[in-house]
Structure 1
Amino acid sequence: MGEIMLRKMNGRYLVSLLLGLLLVFGIYIQYKVVPIVSEQRKIGTTYMTMNNAFYKIVNAEIEKEVASHGDILYTRDPALSVNKQCEQIQSFIDKKVDAIIINPVDSGSQKITTALKKARKKGIHIIVVDSQLQDSQVADVTVVSDNYRAGVLDAEHMMATVPRADILLLEHKDTLSAVDRIDGFLDTIAEHPQYRIVARRESKGQTEISMPAVHAVIEDGVPFNVVMALNDQSAIGALAAIKEKALSHKIFIYGVDGSPDMKNLLRNTDDITATVAQSPVDMGAKTIQSAYAMLDGQPVEMVITIPVALLDKTNIETVDVEGWQ
């Protein structure tokens, strides 16, 4: 009887031992094959506003790459508020992110600069996208379109199309990328007195701000026959105001972005004269590539400039009007 019990006990011991070994082996495989949570890299993104499809496309490219690495992405929308964006930067610091990708609400904001410097002291990499910071030393990498060139292209097209012009500018003075576009336009027409700036209005790049701003210009009796808008959203707001006021004379409308809405208007109507296309797809891809290169200790370019291209009636049929480039 005792011998039988001993055999049973030995059998149970062997089974327990085998189960224990299998458990240890399983944990070892899990550790080697599947990265544990503490090894995941964390990246925070904050754009001046997500009320702009451009930034959604940029972020989608970033999101795809982060997901392919099995890492974590935190995306925030400050809705054009400097204070909110600073709070978001602080939350990224608290989450111990490895990199912050930021499109600043205000390129010259001391609050944003201070918050980003605090992040850098914590060893967090800073990538600025679709604009620059006034204090360029804060960013490890800046990824922008050739914004000055965009303004030049719009101006050159206008000068080849309109013999003389009274021009309404729609601006976003807090953002250096927008300032560069307007500077490129102004520098190109500077030596040509037949092209006059008759009004300048702040739009913050938003349709809902540019539309009433253009309304007010029309109601004030300021004559203009060209609208140069820093982006397509502002240009579309201007178009809406012009349509609502039923202006009878031809107005030439220029934008920057190459958004699907603007490209469709350009292809299917005579309401839009031209837009300069930038690529949020390339911008997002180059941004996250730079972020991972830094995280892997590889060298990166401090400034990455993405080419732009003018779209008008002569070439709109050659591009995809339904999506972004």
Structure 2
Amino acid sequence: MQNKWKFNLKSLIIFAFILTIFVYLSYLWLPLTPRKIKIGATYMTLNNSFYGVINEELKKKVNIRGDILYTRNPGLNVTKQCQEIDDFIAKKVDVIVINPVDGENHKLAKTLFKAKKAGIKIIEVDSQLKNKQIADCSIVSDNYQAGKLIASNLIKKAPRANIVLLEHGNALSVKERYQGFSDTLKSQNNYQNNYHILTKIETLGQTEVTLPKVKHYFALATTANTIVALDDQSAVGALAALDALQLNRPINVYGIDGSATMKRLLETNPNAQATVAQSPINLGKKTANACYQLAFNKPVKRNIIVPVYLLTQKNIQNYDVSGWQ
């Protein structure tokens, strides 16, 4: 009996020793285990494949690392976007990627400042926030240059033009495009007599909003011969409206984005003149890299600008029209 008791005690001591070693090694190992980085991404709308492509590039890197990405779609509703950011704060994300519904909205700015106070890094992508103190990093296309390219092509094609401008007033990126367009026209001698913006139509950057508005405008007597859409979704809606009306005169239509739909229309629709190609793939890759630099407190450029280029009826055959670039 005494020998059996000694044996059990010896086994207990060995078990306790092994357990102690295991706990000690676990203590050493756990700090080396990387924690999961959490990223929250909210885009003004996912009813535009442009933002879906940006998010896919971000998702690729997150999945490779085994981290967490929360993707949200406020559907052009700034109040909903604020709620999404509040949810990101509650989830204790490391980085928020935002494509703002309204870059000038005070409530949105206040909610983002709350996120910053919680130690969350902020990246604005594709369109900016008016308050430059919010974002840790801004990743956008060269929107001013996009407007310049459209204006330069218009000037080259037409010494005079009566223009319908399709805009999205809440997007600061679109305002930059218009500024580049306007400044380039104004650089022309006697531009006031040669180039007239007859009307501006708010489209929210949506095809289904654009189509009935453009159709209504051109169904009336108008001298307009040019449509400048500051995004491709609006340009596609405008082209559909013109096709429905079957006007017996040409209307030159311009867009900005370089979407697959607009590129195909450059090949097939005589009214489609040009679009400025952005690269949501590059925007997404740069956003993904910046997320991890900020998450690990590494330095990142405050402003990252991605180049753009012009696609026209004449050069479209040199590019892939099946998707985004």
TM-score (norm 2): 0.91
Residue 70 of structure 2 aligns with an amino acid whose one-letter code is Y
Q: Which residue of 1 aligns with 2:149?
A: 153
Q: Which residue of 1 aligns with 2:78?
A: 82
Alignment of 1:111-260 (within 5 A): 111-190=107-186, 191=188, 192=191, 193-260=193-260
For residues 87-137 of structure 1, what are the alpha-carbon distances to aligned partners after superposition, in whole Å with 9 as ceiling and x for unaligned? 011111111111111010001000100001111111111111111111111
For residues 252-282 of structure 1, what are the alpha-carbon distances to aligned partners after superposition, in whole Å with 9 as ceiling and x for unaligned? 1100000111111112342311000000011
Q: Which residue of 2 aligns with 1:262?
A: 262
For residues 9-62 of structure 1, what are the alpha-carbon distances to aligned partners after superposition, in whole Å with 9 as ceiling and x for unaligned? 589769967985897699579847754xxx211110001000010000001111
Equivalent residue for 2:60, pick from 64, 70, 84 = 64
Say which SS state the counterpart of residue 39 (structure 2) adopts: strand
Say which SS state the counterpart of residue 274 (structure 1) adopts: strand
Compared with structure 1, are the counterparts of its residues 29 and 68 closer, same or farther at alpha carbon in structure 2 (3 Å cutoff)? Answer: farther
Residue 149 of structure 2 aligns with an amino acid whose one-letter code is L
CA RMSD in angstroms, aligned pairs only: 2.3
CA contact (8 A) 1:198 1:222 kept: no
- TM-aligned CA deviation for residue 138 of structure 1: 1.1
Where does structure 1 lack aligned partners over 5 or more consecutive residues? none
- TM-aligned CA deviation for residue 223 of structure 1: 2.5
Residue 177 of structure 1 aligns with an amino acid whose one-letter code is S
Q: Tell which deviates more after alignment, 191-200 or 5-14.
A: 5-14
CA contact (8 A) 2:294 2:300 kept: yes
Residue 72 of structure 1 aligns with an amino acid whose one-letter code is I
CA contact (8 A) 2:37 2:94 kept: yes
CA distance in 2, matches of 1:301, 1:176: 20
- TM-aligned CA deviation for residue 219 of structure 1: 2.9
CA distance in 2, matches of 1:117, 1:233: 32
Compared with structure 1, are the counterparts of its residues 302 and 33 closer, same or farther at alpha carbon in structure 2 (3 Å cutoff)? Answer: closer
CA distance in 2, matches of 1:112, 1:202: 21
Residue 120 of structure 1 aligns with an amino acid whose one-letter code is K
Q: Tell which deviates more after alignment, 58-67 or 6-15.
A: 6-15
CA contact (8 A) 1:85 1:105 kept: yes
- TM-aligned CA deviation for residue 313 of structure 1: 2.3
Say which SS state the counterpart of residue 123 (structure 1) adopts: coil
Q: Tell which deviates more after alignment, 16-25 or 143-152.
A: 16-25
1:321 matched to 2:317? The reply is no
Say which SS state the counterpart of residue 310 (structure 1) adopts: strand
How many residue pairs end up in the alignment? Answer: 321
Q: Which residue of 1 aligns with 2:309?
A: 309
CA distance in 1, matches of 2:268, 2:12: 80
CA contact (8 A) 2:95 2:294 kept: no
CA contact (8 A) 2:258 2:275 kept: yes
Alignment of 1:30-45 (within 5 A): 31=30, 35=34, 39-45=35-41
Compared with structure 1, are the counterparts of its residues 30 and 216 closer, same or farther at alpha carbon in structure 2 (3 Å cutoff)? Answer: farther
Q: Tell which deviates more after alignment, 219-228 or 92-101.
A: 219-228
Q: Which residue of 2 aligns with 1:282?
A: 282
CA distance in 1, matches of 2:293, 2:63: 16
CA distance in 1, matches of 2:297, 2:62: 17
Residue 291 of structure 1 aligns with an amino acid whose one-letter code is C
